Amino acid sequence: MAFEIAPLFAPIPGGPELLIILFIAILLFGANKIPKLARSTGEAMGEFQKGREKVETELEEMREAGFEEGEEEEFAAAKAEGELDTDDDDDFVETEPVTTEEETETESN
């Protein structure tokens, strides 16, 4: 009795399958929206890549610093509290506090 090993993933679609997928995409979204969808997908992939690289560099910094297992949590906590600044870009924007209608009514009385 011979057993076949089932693949974990489906095979990658070839030429005819890609044409059918492209045709269905044109029918669903229209020819005008496909470039916009492709652009936004590319931007999202770029943001994901940046985030992944950022995490990889932080992990590499921790490895180079020779952290023990317990010290990794301290590093993450210190970074979360703002004690460590490894970023050069500004990730946060200053905002005004949100007020509810009740707060504004009581302040005006």
pLDDT digits (tens, 9 = 90+) for 18-73: 889 888 988 888 888 888 988 999 999 999 999 999 999 998 888 887 765 566 67
Determine the straight-line distance between the first and last CA of the chain, rounded to whole angstroms: 87
Two tokens, residue 105 = 């009514």
More confident residue, 77 or 62: 62
pLDDT reported for residue 105: 58
Mean pLDDT, rounded, of the chain: 77
- In angstroms, the CA 106 to CA 41 distance is 47
- In angstroms, the CA 89 to CA 82 distance is 14
pTM of the model: 0.41
How is the chain split into domains, by residue range? 26-82
More confident residue, 15 or 105: 15
